[in-house]
Chains A and B, each alone.
Chain A
């Protein structure tokens, strides 16, 4: 069973069908509420991150960071759709990225984090449980 060649089919709310490698689509998902455009963007994101993590693509953390920053340079509506889709598909890293961007955009806050500083905070955040009282 070659896991790299296993493909999964996804059908979106507007009846488009996508075929992706299993490594890219990590979870079993319902994509009823996600449109074709958004899903295609999300698959780009997942592919990029999986490939860079697996070393398939030669890309430095700084370059990936920049790629992410460009990825979220979209209009408010698209950004909002990305948030909803990331939430529905449970893609934590994309959810974090899009939420932060949305907040910054809405309130016009400058992102004064360096990559290292942001990474450090993310690592710390992982130690804190998400659910109150659990």
Chain B
């Protein structure tokens, strides 16, 4: 710490700074100083508040809390410079809310999280927060079970600047969401997960005044997914749509989306009209564990701007649908397919992708029986392919890997999991894929440790992530090495959460249907979920490989 805190310090101050620092460290306490000006000088007083706030930006909330206890000035600076706050949203917090939001008066991003064991804050508390946080742009609610439609409506009225709402495990319903969509006309992102208040016969949820502002919609684990149809179809400028494990007729919804810009009248009203005719802004679609078939995929093929497509565990989708998408969505950059080992998507669909999608950068195949026929085509034709993951497929063997090694020039990251490859495949990788930076191998029992070592020596700069070698070498061994989180813990947990004890009786039948439809394949899912975290990242591969 040899530098003076501020460039504007003159020589006199910098001298006293050094002098003062020495004397304070030998005394070791800030109490009981003599009144010598030099020794008493607070060095951080030279730093303007804005600079102090800038330093605090580098600290996490725990450290910031500690800083706030150093002195009153630091309390104050930390208070007005905190934009993000995550609160334990128990009912007992209500008494402290006025002082909390007087102290933190610049919050724009707020998380209210309540555990299952506690009673959450209620409508009154939420409204009080909305009155105090005039600049709120993002709200995340988790487990706030005491908040009702009424509370959310009043909150929405007070939160005109809201751009992002994410709610999970709450119990309000359609009225609440409609209120948000009606009052928050700048809403860009809406994420709804496990909302238990939407019963049979609930009102439809429409885009409201947010119809043109909505850019991302994510719906997860909703029994009454159908209620969201007007919302999804009506959000005309939607860029990303993610529907995961929701009941509903999604073929129909996708058809409505696909057809929505065919109407000549509507075209005239859109700002980004181009001569192609289909103006749909949709760039990203995730469909997971849904009632969707090739009809839905054909509808998606009408959205020519699609760059990112996930088709995960949708057993009614087949090669036919994938071919349709590939032929029309030539801008495709990222494709994730989890065939759930139903063998309905395979070489035929992937060859079409190879043929029509030259911009492909990322490909993830789980439980898909692809062979060197399609993988070779993709490797040759998709010259920008940088990230490839092959998982849980009995047809991906040494031939396939050799093919990839020989032809994938741009490949940077490769992951192979639970495939019947052997050391021969490793040998091929020793000299192929010239751009390869990282490789991950999991549960490939045919690959020996020695082969891994050999590869490390062959390609010094390559980062290799392999199962550690165990004497048993079985499934359990690699689980304990790779980490429990890698195994399919995700899926069974999700199913049991849908079939919840406190679900309303009217939706029990629906829940049972959901479970039986998608619970069948649970046991086969041991590799698919190991991928979910990986493939769900924003930048899918980065940092996780």
Chain A interface residues (CB < 8 Å from chain B): 69, 72-76, 79, 96, 99-101, 103-113, 117-118, 120-134
Contacts and interface: CB of A to CB of B under 8 A. Distances in A.
Q: List the 8 shortest-distance A-B pairs measured between CB atoms, nearest first.
A: A130-B62, A129-B86, A125-B65, A108-B24, A73-B29, A107-B44, A107-B43, A104-B30
Given A76-B25, A79-B28, A99-B66, 8 more contacts: A100-B69, A105-B24, A106-B24, A112-B72, A127-B96, A131-B62, A132-B60, A133-B111
A72 B100 contact: no
Contacts of B84: 132
15 contacts: A104-B71, A107-B42, A107-B44, A108-B21, A108-B40, A110-B30, A110-B71, A111-B30, A122-B69, A124-B96, A125-B68, A128-B86, A129-B86, A129-B87, A134-B86
B61 A127 contact: no
B69 A121 contact: yes
B103 interface: yes
Contacts of A72: 29
Given A109-B42, A129-B88, A73 B71 contact: no
B313 interface: no
A65 B138 CA distance: 40
Interface in B58-83: 60-62, 65-72, 74-75
B394 interface: no
Nearest to A96: B66
Contacts of A75: 28
Contacts of A123: 96
Contacts of A109: 30, 42-44, 70-71, 74
Contact of A105 (B28, B39, B68): B28
Given A105-B28, A120-B99, A130 B61 contact: yes
Interface residues of B, number: 39
B81 to A, nearest CB: 14
Interface string B1-43: 0000000000000000000110011001111000000011111
Interface of B: 20-21, 24-25, 28-31, 39-44, 60-62, 65-72, 74-75, 84-88, 93, 96, 99-100, 103, 111, 113
A130 B59 CA distance: 11
B450 to A, nearest CB: 36
Contact of A133 (B21, B30, B31, B86): B86
A24 to B, nearest CB: 24
A69 B28 contact: no
A108 B70 contact: no
Nearest to B29: A73
A76 B28 contact: yes
Contact of B71 (A112, A127, A129): A112
B396 to A, nearest CB: 36
A99 B324 CA distance: 62
Contact of B29 (A96, A105, A126, A130): A105
Given A107-B42, A110-B71, A113-B71, A128 B30 contact: no
Contacts of B60: 130-132
B140 to A, nearest CB: 9
A97 B250 CA distance: 57
B61 A110 contact: no
Contacts of B44: 107, 109
Contacts of A130: 60-62, 65
Contacts of A132: 60-61, 84, 86
Contacts of A100: 66, 69-70
Which of B30, B31, B43, B86 has its CB near the most chain A CB atoms (within 10 A)?
B30
Which of A117, A123, A130 has its CB near the most chain B CB atoms (within 10 A)?
A130
A129 B66 contact: no
A109 B491 CA distance: 53
Contacts of B86: 128-129, 131-134
Contacts of B99: 120, 124
A112 B31 CA distance: 11
A122 B71 CA distance: 13
Contacts of B96: 123-124, 127
A96 to B, nearest CB: 6
Nearest to B23: A108
A111 B72 CA distance: 8
B61 A128 contact: yes
A107 B65 CA distance: 18
A98 B25 CA distance: 15
A112 B61 CA distance: 22
Contacts of B68: 121, 125
A108 B61 contact: no
Given A110-B71, A130-B60, A124 B103 contact: yes
Given A99-B66, A113-B71, A108 B43 contact: yes
A133 B70 CA distance: 25
Contacts of B41: 108
B72 A128 contact: no
Given A111-B71, A128-B86, A73 B28 contact: yes
A29 B217 CA distance: 46
A127 B69 contact: no
A63 to B, nearest CB: 16
Given A99-B66, A109-B44, A129 B113 contact: yes
A77 B338 CA distance: 57
A103 to B, nearest CB: 5
A67 to B, nearest CB: 13
B484 to A, nearest CB: 19
B88 A127 contact: yes
B40 A121 contact: no
Nearest to A122: B69
A125 B113 CA distance: 15
Contacts of A128: 61, 65, 85-88
Nearest to B30: A104
A119 B398 CA distance: 66
B100 A124 contact: yes
Contacts of B31: 69, 73, 111
A130 B60 CA distance: 8
